[in-house]
Amino acid sequence: MRAPGLPCFFSELSLRLITALCLAALLAPAAVDAAPKPAPVPAVVAERDRTSPGGRAVHVILPQTHIETSIDVGRVAADYSGGLLDTLIIRSMDDKKEVLSRNQNERTLAAAQPLFSALEGFDVDALALAATRNGLASTAWFQPRPFTLTRDASPAVAAAFVAGADTPQLATISYRYDLSPDFTQIRVTADLALAYRPAAKGDKVPTVAPPFYRQRITSIVELRTRAYDPNANVALWSAEGGRLAKTSLAAAFAATEELIPYALGLGAADIKAFEAKDREKGFAAGLYGPLVARRHRVADDTLIWSGGLVYVQPAP
């Protein structure tokens, strides 16, 4: 005797399997004919690129209006065979990660509400602009020109910046600031990029050119006393009108200000030394990478290299 509901189950399974097979058939030619990956953008400014007559126009992008949150739901389902078909089948049958992510994001936003309220009206834009101005001014060859600060990171705004610039090179610095998933860290990330201004063709607006330099700077401030309960950590950041969160954001951007000229001054030999197999490793803020320096700015801080400079200091 056939178990009740069995035909329906197999019909649904067959439909998903057919869908996965169709997707695999559609994606397979693209995978075969895919162009080779472009070479990574250097994290070093070559000596020939350090000269830009007339300086560089600078576009500072900070799209946020409040501190962001992040989540980590871990790995929900493994693609055991590693094949495209198995991956498609598993993803078509299992939406656990999506559901978990949505639920976790809702809980995280609810828990962070006290900090959102405490930081309301706090001028993070001023911190980002000051860090950028002072950091670039400390690099003698950079010659920063007019600064444009926007919240819009869209291609249209980027194209408008290019069209309005009159320097041979352009600099873009995109900022993000957020909380770690357990609320023990406040993190500021700055993505630096340099590109040559493309020549105008007739009356067409120049498009954004690919960068010849890119590096990410991450500046992290950690709670000195932390709890396993995320709500307790939020309470620490939010107490006294967000005093600790505000001073920590200021400290994170102050470190970024010092790291900008450090990053721009790195040479190929420095990166090679960072990535050498025998380089001493460091563990900081949950990240593990080649140790650049201990006590870089203060007595109990750490600077490591993890695809870019990562600086970690305790909360003031």
pLDDT in tens, 75-117: 333 333 444 444 544 555 556 666 666 666 678 888 899 999 9
Q: What is the pLDDT of residues 11-52, one digit of tens each?
A: 544 555 455 445 445 444 444 444 556 678 889 999 999 999
pLDDT in tens, 203-255: 665 677 789 999 999 999 999 998 889 999 999 999 999 999 999 999 999 99
Percent of the chain, pLDDT > 70? 74
Sorted by where each begins, the domain ranges of the chain are: 47-67+119-314
Q: Tell me the per-residue pLDDT of 254-293, one tens digit each, with 9 for 90 and over.
A: 999 999 999 999 999 999 999 999 999 988 888 889 999 8
pLDDT of residue 305: 94
285/178 Cα distance (integer angstroms): 14
> Is 0.75 topped by the overall pTM?
yes
Closest CA to 178 of 231, 218, 216: 218
Contact status, residue 220 vs residue 313, Cβ threshold 8 Å: yes
At residue 176, does pLDDT exceed 60? yes
pLDDT at residue 75, as a whole number? 39
What would the two tokens of residue 17 be? Answer: 């399997």
Question: In degrees, to the nearest 5, what angle opens at C-alpha 220 toward C-alphas 153 and 222?
Answer: 140
What is the arithmetic mean of pLDDT over 111-125?
Answer: 94
Q: Is 211 in contact with 43 (CB distance < 8 Å)?
A: no
Q: Can you give the C-alpha Rg of the chain in angstroms?
A: 24
Backbone angles phi, psi at 208, to 5 degrees: -70, 130
Phi, psi of 28 (to 5 degrees): -60, -50
The contacts of residue 152 (CB under 8 Å, 6+ apart) are: 61, 63
Q: What is the pLDDT of residue 297?
A: 80
Mean pLDDT of the chain: 82
| Residue 196: per-residue pLDDT | 94
pLDDT score for 30: 45
pLDDT at 108: 80
Question: Which is higher by pLDDT, 303 or 73?
Answer: 303
Cβ burial, residue 299 (10 Å; 0-12/13-18/19+): exposed
The overall longest dimension of the chain from CA atoms, in Å, is: 85
18 vs 120, more confident: 120
Token pair of 277, please?
A: 């197999």
